[in-house]
Structure 1
Amino acid sequence: MDDRVGNPALAGSGPATASRVRPVMAVLGAAGASHCMNDLLQSLIPAVYPVLKSEFALSFGQIGLITLTFQLTASLLQPFVGAYTDRNPKPYSLPLGMCVTMAGLVVLASAPNFGLILLAAGMVGVGSSIFHPEASRVARLASGGRYGFAQSVFQVGGNGGTALGPLLAAFVVVPDGQRSIAWFALVALAAIFVLTGMSRWYAAHLGAVRRKAVTSSVEGLPRRKVLIAVFVLMLLVFSKYIYLSSLTSYYTFYLISKFGLSKQDALVHLFIFLGAVAVGTAVGGPIGDRIGRKPVIWCSILGVLPFTLLLPYADLTWTTVLSVVIGVVLASAFSAILVFAQEMMPTKVGMISGLFFGFAFGMAGLGAAVLGLFADQFGIVAVYRICSFLPVLGLLTWFLPNVSEKR
């Protein structure tokens, strides 16, 4: 008898298991909740930009450099962390990474100058690089074969946290200033508690992690086609995250500059947009499980183009509406992209997760730095006119292999 039957810890070895085991919802819930708290803390960095800009007289270029420091710290380390833990799983690295994030927040709350702000951003990035590859692996391990669903649960937690960060910053940090960031160390403590429990479950089921995957939805594809597909997926992530970076880093400034909103009102609009991103993430994975990853990627990346082209010319009401549509549609792609890539290399889940999370963060950081310099030179509105064409890269989806019918 197949020892995977009825054993949730051994779920996810191939498509055949999906009908015989169920997702371990307690573990997926913990993964989503910890991702929510992790990304809530990370989202504080861009959320407090208006406060830091006022208190330290920062330029848009310096704002972009803060984002670049955070994103590159995370992105450069994640693939190496993932590749290492593919060979040597480290379940208790999850709470350790959150400890680094908590330390970064304490430094950010008390930083007296721009240099220490950069150091704090880098520490939060290191915590992120430790968290994401292993947490994503745990979500896949607990999926019961429903990989898209599991990644959506994991991702929607992160998106929900990213949306809550600006809202909490609007009512905690904006009124009381930089030092109030220290209150969010309590969130980090709660995350450490959740991650410790999740790590215990993970440590008890390391046999499933070490066992090689025996089947794949892309089994038999030549190595060259697999590498081309992974490269195309990374270009799609580039398109998605450069555009998202223009909104997460500069949307508040755009609303303040173009429509005269207050800092708090602008942060509420950012919360609305990020909430839409969370909704899109929630639906993208399960839909991909049903109809295949490639159709979801087509509709998400290329399908958002008409809305991004309209955004720079809309009034405040339509800007809000379009931002919601863009958030839902564009965010639905990431779970599909990540699972597509994992299925290309099923024995290197950690490396692929780290590569794609890291690349996404790196592109967001690079985009923020370049867009910040562009905004200093040409104005914040021009940023959205240029970025509106990025979803054209969705045409590259044509080069992905048609593997959904093999699932």
Structure 2
Amino acid sequence: MNTSRWRMTVLVAGHAVDDLYQGAVPAVVPFLVAERSYSYLAAAGITVAATLLSSVVQPLFGVLTDRRPLPWLVPAGMTVAGAGIGLCGLGDSYLLTWLAIALSGLGVAAYHPEAARLARRVARDGHVGMSWFAVGGNAGFALGPVLVTPVLALGGLGASPLLMIPALMGGVVTLVAMRGVRGADAVEARVGQDDWRQFGRLTVVVIARSMVTFGLSTFLALWVAQRAGGLIAGSVALVLLFGIGALGTLLGGVLAGRWGRIRVVRVSYALAVPSVAGIAIAPGPAVYLFVALAALTLYAPFSLHTTLGQDYLPNRLGTASGMTLGLAVSVGGLAAPVVGALASATTLQWALLSLLVLPVVAWVAARGLAEPARCAF
């Protein structure tokens, strides 16, 4: 295996480990609700903890990596993300739990901009290569509930330190693999005008998509547990959402090579509207079908957001990555308390139905997108 392929493999696997801890947050929520009797609003606050600090600092990490390559942030961010999740179950204090989850969000923020820059470089500007990198993150989301559910089901919240193990192992492997990376190897000179107008429109698309996916991931397990019976049924729905989402991300890269990125983005969000509606309306186990459809339609554009953002801002790859993978995504998590408050005031079903407006917003905003003037593909 040549050096580039080895590094890409490590980046894909590392992205899976890092985003495992993002996927762990919604999986931890039902156990916090069951063991500590948290309300819907308090549960949503846990999601805010994972996204608030990340949403503020991730673009700053992007700006930093535009000025100077910082490959050490990749293993360091991954390790901190795992440490935060590992500490979240210790003690009964809501504040300490919130701070531990926030620490995990900080680690995620440090990881993504530099990792996305390196992946774009190693993938040599290929749709499918970047899709694989994004698939790594989606797979990590899917593995979050797979890891969290048996550990906490058997050992309770006190067993949460065991969840640090993948981050510690992944951090060591990534550190070794990235040891030879220098500035010239990590940063490729780009030319062309930065199109901030198109990038701003893309940011609206990404935020709307993020809000609906965070809303679903935060409350899907609780909703399916009510509809299909039990915490295990809810965890299965999360695994399906993130697992099918990983396949959807790879499919999006393949389809973009045939149809173009913009068309894939527009069609995906149009089809997401009935898919999300079905989750809130479908009876019993039929909800799983709509979870799968929503996963395909909401995740197919995921890697395309990043490559479009990087092509709209060809001279600021770190900033573009920090925004599309960071700020815009994390800000979506801040909508979770609104959904939680609506669920407390009405029902969880009506709260999920309220999410329908978001793929509509994404579709409308995407209609104004155009392929970048300078496109690397």
Q: Aligned match of 1:113 in 74, 93, 98?
A: 93
Contact 1:56–1:114 (CA under 8 A) maintained in structure 2 = no
Q: Which has the larger radius of gyration?
A: 1
Q: CA deviation at 1:184?
A: 1.6
Aligned residue identity for 2:145: P
1:209: how far off?
Answer: 4.0
* 2:237 alignment partner, one of 265, 269, 281: 269
- Looking at structure 2, the residues matched to 328 and 78 of structure 1 have their Cα atoms a distance apart, in angstroms, of 26
Alpha-carbon contact 1:292-1:404 (below 8 Å) kept: no
Asked if the contact 2:208/2:332 (under 8 Å) is kept, the reply is no
Per-residue deviation at 1:58? 1.0
Q: Give the one of 300, 314, 318 matched to 1:346.
A: 314
Aligned pair 1:230/2:207, yes or no? no
Query: How do 1:272-287 and structure 2 match up within 5 A?
Result: 272-287=240-255
SS in 2 for 1:200: coil
Tell me if the contact between 2:87 and 2:160 (Cα under 8 Å) persists in the aligned partners.
no
Match of 2:279 among 311, 321, 327: 311
1:207-266 per-position Cα deviation (integer Å, ceiling 9, x unaligned) = 14445214xxxx56xx6xx22211111111122111111211000111123x25111121
Q: Residues of 1 paired with 2:188 and 2:276: CA distance?
A: 44
Task: Report what 1:18 is aligned to.
Answer: none
Gaps of 5+ in 1: 1-7, 10-23
**Aligned equivalent of 1:57:** 37
Q: Is the 8 A contact 1:234 1:359 kept in 2?
A: no
The residue correspondences of 1:373-384 to structure 2 (distance < 5 A) are 373-384=341-352
Residues of 2 paired with 1:392 and 1:42: CA distance? 25
Partner of 1:401: 370
The alignment status of 1:45 with 2:29, answered yes or no, reads no
Indicate which of 320, 323, 329 corresponds to 2:291: 323
- In structure 2, the residue corresponding to 1:304 is in which secondary structure? helix
2:66, 2:319 within 8 Å by CA — same for their partners in 1? yes
Indicate the percent of aligned positions where both proteins have the same amino acid. 26
Q: Distance in 2 between matches of 1:402 and 1:351?
A: 19
Q: Does 1:207 align with 2:176?
A: no
Q: State which of 157, 161, 170 in structure 1 corresponds to 2:140.
A: 161
Which digits, 9 at most, give the CA deviation of each residue in 1:273-327, with x for residues without a partner?
2111111111212332343211111111122222223332211232111110110
Task: Name the SS of the counterpart of 1:48 in structure 2.
Answer: helix
Whichever residue aligns with residue 302 of structure 2, its letter is F
Q: Is 1:152 aligned to 2:131, yes or no?
A: yes
Whether contact under 8 Å (1:238, 1:363) holds in the other structure is yes
State how far apart, in whole Å, the 2-side matches of 1:401 and 1:187 are.
40
Question: Alignment length, in residue pairs?
Answer: 374
Q: For residues 6 and 259 of structure 2, what CA distance do their matches in structure 1 show?
A: 26
1:293 is the counterpart of 2:274? no
TM-score under structure 2 normalisation? 0.93
Shift of 1:198: 3.3
For residues 102 and 312 of structure 1, do their structure 2 counterparts lie closer, same or farther at Cα, with a shift above 3 Å needed? closer
| Match in the other structure for 2:331 | 363
Q: SS of the counterpart of 2:370?
A: coil
Superposed CA RMSD in Å reads 2.0
Mapped partners of 2:218, 2:79: distance in 1: 25
Structure 2: distance between partners of 1:106 and 1:169: 10
Letter matched to residue 120 of structure 1 = A
Q: Is the 2:223–2:348 Cα contact (8 Å) retained in structure 1?
A: yes
C-alpha offsets along residues 331-375 of structure 1, whole Å, 9 cap, x if unaligned? 011211111110111121111101112224323321212111111
